[in-house]
Structure 1
Amino acid sequence: MRKGFTIWLTGYSGSGKTSIATELYRKLIERTIPCEILDGDVIRQHLSQGLTFSKEDRCENIMRIGYVAQILSKHGVGVIVSAISPYKSARDMVREKIHSFVEVYVNCSIEECERRDVKGLYKKAKTGEIKNFTGISDPYEEPVDPEVTCYTETESIDESVAKILACLEALHLIGHIKTGITG
């Protein structure tokens, strides 16, 4: 059976997680690797409806996403999680439960995320209209030792995706594109 894995994209709102996840998904499908995207916003609408943005509920949301990722990856699916995941302890708990877990820090400054913000969430957070907003009124704990760091202010989406694919190849979770050999 094919090895499953979970790629966990973490970073501020607007850092580029969803854009990277979408392109990574496309690249994995091109390689005929079964995969699925678990997007934090979509999960909140369907699996975590009713949860608030308190620390406890944010951790619960991450644990729910992690549970789904664990099941899918256990059955040979490449799971791409795109979720802010602001707390290191929650990410670490998920890492402990998923055998092939690859943390990707989507590193982007708050200023750039705010500039990219088409929904105006940062502005609403700064005026107090949105409470517990990561990076404004709620902390974001940067990953200490992620497998991959994507610097989305200076890298293209393709460059970030290439770094993730190279990591997956190095960990023998996917085959090298030239040989098609999987580990």
Structure 2
Amino acid sequence: MLKETNIRSVVKGITYRVAGTCTTMLIVFLFVGRLDLAFYTGLAETFSKIGLYWLHERVWLKVRWGRKKIEPFNIWLTGLPLCGKTTVGDLVHQKLRQLDIPLERIDSKDIRELIPDIGFTRNSRNQHLHRVGHLICTLQKNAISTVASFVSPYEESREIIANMVKNNIIVYIKADIETCKKRDYKHVYEKAICGEYQNFTGISDVYEEPKHADIVIDTDEVSAEEAAEHIIKFIKKRYIK
């Protein structure tokens, strides 16, 4: 998707205005045969239309008719550690920002750095996601949508979020555990297998696959870019019509 830059828009506006003024001057000259009158007419038209455009825009800023509010939504990416949630979530966030949607990115790593004492037991994870749900609700009250990526391995954890936030979209980032191990640049799977990490999803703790995911993406089959595009199409169809 290509985005119109401010400088390009300014140049387009200037060239359009110059072309319009020159056309007016040419028409006046052809009708009356006076170059000075054509010049002054073009000059007057330029300033009057700039003022008219400014006034027109100010009036339309006050008119609410025809505006459509985008309801805040939450894209919840879930899956095994190292399945690609964060990578896909970052791409989705970048692409949605290009649409000028009020948006925030929430990743489990960032939240855990803010609250480092959170445990990894089933109860601790559920309590943690309850806090995350409150954060998303606060953002949604301010009309801000969110892209969140959390392992969230339990069905009840995901239900907590679904019951708390508006327009929750569950995206299951599916990947074979052997693929996740190959992507393990942090060596967390290796440490979990050795017993350094307890309650590690996929090794010493379960991952309950979502029963009712809105989107299922197999990162063994599609690239992160393709996955992001698929999610963007879903959001556009459902929330940005």
Give the deviation of 1:161 after TM superposition: 0.9
Identity of aligned residues (%): 33
8 Å CA contact 2:129–2:160 kept in 1: the answer is: no
Which TM-score applies when normalising by structure 2?
A: 0.69
**Matching residue of 1:42:** 110
CA distance in 1, matches of 2:131, 2:122: 14
Note if contact 1:38-1:80 (Cα within 8 Å) is conserved in structure 2: yes
Post-superposition shift, 1:64? 1.2
Task: Show the counterpart of 1:174.
Answer: 240
Other structure's SS at 2:192 match: helix
Structure 1 position 65, deviation (Å): 1.2
Which of 156, 168, 175 is matched with 1:101 structurally? 168
Could you tell me how far apart the structure 2 residues matched to 1:113 and 1:12 are? 8
- Aligned Cα RMSD in Å? 1.1
Asked which structure has the greater RCO (Cα within 8 Å, sep 6+), the reply is 1
CA contact (8 A) 2:106 2:146 kept: yes
Q: Name 1:81's counterpart in structure 2.
A: 148
What is the correspondence of 1:1-183 to structure 2 with a 5 Å cutoff? 1-46=69-114, 48-171=115-238, 173-175=239-241
TM-score normalised according to structure 1 size: 0.91
Higher mean C-alpha displacement, 73-82 vs 125-134: 73-82
Instruction: Give, in whole Å, the separation in 1 of the partners of 2:119 and 2:204.
Output: 14
1:169 CA drift (Å): 2.1
Misfit runs of 4+, over 4 Å: none
Larger radius of gyration: 2
Measured after TM superposition, the shift of residue 2 of structure 1 is: 3.1
- Distance in 2, matches of 1:156 and 1:29, equals 21
SS at match of 2:87: helix
Which letter does structure 2 place at the counterpart of 1:174?
I
The number of aligned residues is: 173
Which runs of 5 or more residues in structure 2 are unaligned? Answer: 1-68
